[in-house]
Amino acid sequence: MGGGTYNVLMRNGEMIAGRAGCRIQIARIASRRQRDDIDLGDIPFSLDVFDVVNDPEVDIVIELIGGYDVARELVLTAINNGKHVVTANKALIAVHGNEIFEAAAEKGVIVAFEAGVAGGIPVIKAIREGMSANRIDCVAGIINGTGNYILTEMRAGREFAEVLKEAQELGYAEADPTFDVEGIDAAHKLTILASTSFGVPLQFERAYTEGISEITPYDIAHAELLGYRIKHLGIARRRESGIELRVHPTLVPRSHLIAQVDGVLNAVLVDGDAVGQTMYYGPGAGDEATASAVIADIVDVARSVSHQSLQRVPYLGFEPASLEDLNVLPMDDIQSAYYLRIQALDRPGVLAKVASIMSEHGINIESIMQKESELEGGTIPVIILTHTVQERQINCAIADLEALSDIQNKVVRIRAENFN
């Protein structure tokens, strides 16, 4: 990632200077490993990253090392030394952003983090500036390319484990893929998107995460038959009683634009009351895609510094005094439609019992699917798509369904969104 930023700065330096109003000079580079892959010329290089933040010749520190602890110490030291910071570290901002922004405000320096969400897609700038006239009620998207690649490839009938191994071989997934496939990386990004959209403090610890490791080719195929596609989405929605903040597999209508986003690409939907629904699409990772966002932040900081401007965009798009302490709703209180897969014994009256339980809990069924050709070992899968209800209703219904002697195994549940 740092190599991409260096390469773009070297290649497009004159053009970038024209936009920034001053020349961007690399005063020092530090890395925790030797970088023989890049010709640094006469630029001082160090294996101690703190050499950069303690160098009096450095005005802007670009933090691209990732992680929590060292990055936090590095950024806070830079701020304390009166230096501006540009970071691509979504985990750092999601977890420690409130502390970092407060420290930066006290020192009068800028912390910029466009590259922390959706790589090269300038969605933070779009929300904080381009949509500043709008009340945003929903922001949602595919914000992890690894998960999107896996679900795309599974549409061909391939198993999760097989595609994950391929993604690791291609460099799309880490050796330990937990952050990507279990939704933690997406939750970091969603936390930032929600705060900039709704004007609330960062609260990553309250985000709900659910991964894609339990998704099967069977469910992907049957979602397609129902007119839906399964995507691993981050969803933040404003409700009267608080905000939803959740990452999980989601059925999306195949006709919706976001359902067409395949492979490692990202896309973010932002719904404003004035402009309506907008979508931002492009590469969410990659050295030069990330560099595009990092350098855009450097240019913004350079403009402010060179013109001694006090007019700065608030970190979360709202002045600190205007931030609202909105409650993050527990999952029991969120509202969604649901895809349910029930493994039922092939007996008369089973569907009637299922329908009765759904009715008892106030759940309307949009469609139901059962194929005689899938009868095996005396059981048959029953697929149900519900209308929108509260999660607690579906939880109670699932508990009652699983208590029936006619139902085998656990009920599979995948949430569904129409984004109308």
Residue type, 226: L
pLDDT at 122 over 70: yes
pLDDT at 1 over 60: no
How far apart (Å, rounded) are the C-alpha atoms in residues 77 and 71?
Answer: 10
CATH number at residue 402: 3.30.70.260
**What pLDDT does residue 308 have?**
73
Q: 67-86 pLDDT, tens per residue?
A: 999 999 999 999 999 999 99
pLDDT band at 314 (very low <50, low <70, confident <90, very high): confident
What mean pLDDT is predicted for residues 403-420?
94
pLDDT band at 5 (very low <50, low <70, confident <90, very high): very high
The answer to whether residue 125 is catalytic is no
* pTM, rounded to two decimals: 0.94
Same domain, residue pair 134 and 273 = yes
What mean pLDDT is predicted for residues 392-406?
97
What mean pLDDT is predicted for residues 172-189?
94
How far apart (Å, rounded) are the C-alpha atoms in residues 258 and 372?
Answer: 33
**What pLDDT does residue 278 have?**
97
Range of the domain at 388: 331-416
* Concatenated DSSP letters of 272-318: ETTTEEEEEEEES--HHHHHHHHHHHHHHHHHHHHTT------TTSS
Exposure on the CB side of residue 196, measured as CA atoms within 13 A: 32
Same domain, residue pair 255 and 308 = no
Total structural domains within the chain: 3
How far apart (Å, rounded) are the C-alpha atoms in residues 232 and 100?
Answer: 29
CATH number at residue 53: 3.40.50.720
pLDDT at 36 over 90: no
30 inside domain: yes
94 inside domain: yes
Sign of the four-CA dihedral 182, 185, 186, 188: positive
Choosing from 83, 189, 231, 353, the catalytic residue is 189
**What pLDDT does residue 310 have?**
59
CATH number at residue 279: 3.30.360.10
